[in-house]
Amino acid sequence: MTLVDTSSLIHLLRRKGDPLIKKRVSSLIAVDLAAICPMIVTELYMGASTKEDKDDVGALCSLLHHLEIHNNVWKVAYKLASACRNKGTPVPGSDLLIAACAFYHNVNIDSEDHHFNVLLTYKSLL
CB 47 within 8 A of CB 90: no
CB 101 within 8 A of CB 108: no
Helices and strands (DSSP H and E) totals, the chain = 7, 4
Residue 126 pLDDT > 90? no
The answer, as to whether pTM is greater than 0.85, is yes
State residue 6's pLDDT score: 98
Cα angle, residue 56 at apex, residues 96 and 43 outer, rounded to 5°: 20
